[in-house]
Chain A
Amino acid sequence: MNTLLWGALPYVAFALLVTGLVWRHRYDTFGWTTRSSEIYESRLLSLASPVFHYGILFVLAGHLLGLFVPASWTDAIGVDEHVYHLFSLIGGTLAGLLAITGIALLVYRRRTNAPVLLATTRNDKFMYVLLVGEIAMGMYAKVTNSSFSSGYDYRTTIAPWARSLFTLDPRTDLMTGAPLTYRIHAVLGMILIAVVPYTRLVHMFSAPVQYLFRPYIVYRSRGPLTEQPRPRGWERLDA
């Protein structure tokens, strides 16, 4: 079980993520979008969506910092465990609160606004349950295992395990000591990573950073007027 969860599942999730992205790009570039519902309802969305997205971006940054920056590095710049813990507790909880407030509002909006609800697929509902569960579990794990004076130091167990995944030598034994809530959070997280390409979450991989660097006006040539293989959505209707 240990090996399955902490030795195999991470790689399965990663493989599903990568193959899923490639598959979706080839099979369904047309559907690669979040199908915005802003046109139905914008008042609540204009508040909730930025709150959630900025919150979740802070959360992501926090996870990258916590998992992939070893304690020895932060020690080297004079940040000891207690200072780091306070920073992680307060910063992380604030970011988590932003994200959870945002997504709560978003789900409320989705549930109460008739056109928005009608445009919600089963796939979306599954994704929302998983996402909300994951965020809530993370908050719960953090808050129940911490106080201002001390807290569970995941940088001696979970973080080294996460880094060991990249050297293809997973130290599964490290995870056995972690609190159950953290372990559930980690498993849900891996499932979430695995389903990203198969849900609307895929939109995170089309963050349009290139917009900052391209010329304003885009010209494109019509190209040769020959019969080309038709991408999905452009199949011939036939006479």
Chain B
Amino acid sequence: MRVLAQVAMVMNLDKCIGCHTCSVTCKQTWTNRSGMEYAWFNNVETRPGQGYPRRWQDQEKWRGGWRLNRRGRLTLRAGSRVARLANIFANPVLPGIKDYYEPWTYDYRNLVNAPLGEDYPVAEPRSLLTGKPMKIEWSANWDDDLGGSVEHGDADPLVVRARAQGEQAAEKVRAAFEQTFMFYLPRICEHCLNPSCVASCPSGAIYKREEDGIVLVDQDHCRGWRQCVTGCPYKKIYFNHRTGKAEKCTFCYPRIEVGLPTVCSETCVGRLRYLGVVLYDADAVTAAASVPEDRDLYEAQLGVFLDPEDPEVRRAAERDGVAHDWIEAARRSPVHALVSRYRVALPLHPEYRTMPMVWYIPPLSPVVEALTETGFDGEDAGNLFGAIDTLRIPVEYLAGLFTAGDPAPVRASLEKLAAMRAHMRAVNLGEAESGSPSEAADAVGMTGRGIEEMYRLLAVAKYEERYVIPTAAMGEARRLEESALPAECSLDHDGGPGMGGEGIGTGGPGPFGEDSGRRRLPLVSLENFHALRRRQTGDDEAQR
């Protein structure tokens, strides 16, 4: 057993209102640069829908992730190492810019410079690739809120699969379409335990950090072979078409290192994201990812996670160099609770065999709404349990997303959420005593106390309970703080404005193309970490 710690995320889809705040703040932080206009490290998709890039879930086409070969061993779906090197001169399954969308801006100058005329001047769209006028036909969330679904709703690979499963499921998905059911799916990089992007990289530039499991691209060693873009089944590695390098979600590691949540979590309006440490057995990952049946992968991944309450595990973790405050954080981890203790969170597409580490609580709210509309008591446990199988969005569809098609774990999760509603209503109406067992809790095999703890985590958890992030090194905190402040005049560095240099943001091509040569890149800005933290978490107004 080799214990490693991973900072993981859970998203509660019940609470997502599809406002895209996470996407926008992420973009402002990480990808508001030339070459990355089309890239969204965080994006929010409407389900059912094609997603971004279009039909990314169709691995028959994009060949991402792992599969088992004839001998039952893991191999990349895109082909063996030799086959991949043979294809290195042109990647046969690379998504083109049109599969994402052609980035554009507007010719705003025309608004003020247009000659006097009858018509009101407009800002025409201009392609950011060619600078020429273009017709906007697609974007990262073109089918947001089911827009255009009548036309291309059938393009969702999961709808196709659900239809193929049989008449009953097919009928349900059709009905779902006519009644316009939908939910939102925010997506970031999964920071997998068995990342196929890392395995695809010919240069060895992508790596998984031992300390926190964050998967990063070493920009200086990436040679732009583009194999990782194909390798990632979630299509969460983006090719910077100006610098010729791969870039991806960083899990906001500079923030995580000092105990702050990622930007997408920090700014989430619905407060639906949870961050916490999960301990896992690194030696068990490959075996778990190699189980023959796709449907067993969810259970197999749960088996890789270790229980931080187990003294045996804690000893092993200390032995393997996991810091003490990380082990303590793992015990308080909301992610561990939602994933392993309550088992309400599920992985996204475990059948890709990458062991993803961003998990989702499937959406239940629409069931309650639908029930109430039909005149039934939408929060009665019996009614709810019965309704789960007649969800307008079929359980089969959710199972296709979260459990490789096995409806049982999805149903179990939804039943727990339903039981929680029923139990908490009983408590609030004085029909049951807080902490005592109730009919609803019994039905899903939970204690009254357990269900109330889950309720607290899902409904009222505060900032510190939702984001339990140990800092990279408490002992080095002071030094970190100092390093965030300039030691010398900020203009005096080599090539800076103070030295007669060009300064920040003066782009233009270098000797070997965009951004080459000794030029300063505006990459990441951090305010003094502890000042930021105080401001965001302090109770006292005067401290802010």
Q: Which residues of A line the B interface, CB within 8 A?
A: 27-42, 45-47, 49-50, 52-54, 114-115, 118-119, 121, 123-124, 198-200, 203, 206, 208, 210-212, 214, 216-222, 225-227, 231-239
Contacts and interface: CB of A to CB of B under 8 A. Distances in A.
Q: Is the interface of A mostly helix, strand, loop or mixed?
A: loop
Interface string B473-496: 100100110011110001001000
Interface string B288-300: 0000000000000
Identify whether the interface residues of B are mostly helix, strand, loop, or mixed: loop
Contacts of A221: 209-211
Contact of A35 (B212, B224, B480, B520): B224
B85 A211 contact: yes
B211 A206 contact: no
A33 B224 contact: yes
Contact of B85 (A208, A216, A238): A208
Interface in B133-189: none
Contacts of A212: 81-82, 85
Contacts of A123: 511-513
A85 B222 CA distance: 43
Contact of A31 (B221, B490, B510): B510
User: Which one of B521, B526, B528 has the greatest number of beta carbons of chain A within 10 Å?
Assistant: B521
A226 B472 CA distance: 12
A28 to B, nearest CB: 6
B430 to A, nearest CB: 52
Contacts of B476: 225-226
29 contacts: A28-B517, A28-B518, A30-B515, A33-B222, A34-B244, A38-B226, A39-B96, A39-B226, A40-B129, A42-B91, A46-B90, A114-B132, A115-B130, A121-B509, A123-B511, A199-B512, A200-B513, A203-B223, A216-B74, A217-B195, A217-B199, A217-B208, A222-B212, A233-B515, A234-B521, A238-B490, A239-B525, A239-B526, A239-B528
Nearest to A40: B97
A97 B324 CA distance: 65
B29 to A, nearest CB: 12
Interface in B54-98: 74, 81-82, 84-85, 87-92, 94-97
Contacts of A34: 224, 244
Contact of B130 (A32, A118, A233): A118
Given A46-B92, A118-B130, A234-B521, 12 more contacts: A31-B517, A35-B241, A40-B241, A42-B90, A119-B241, A198-B512, A208-B225, A216-B74, A217-B194, A222-B210, A225-B479, A232-B518
A145 B300 CA distance: 68
B513 A121 contact: yes
Given A33-B244, A217-B194, A225 B239 contact: no
Contacts of B204: 208, 210-211, 214, 218
A232 B245 CA distance: 14
Contacts of B194: 217
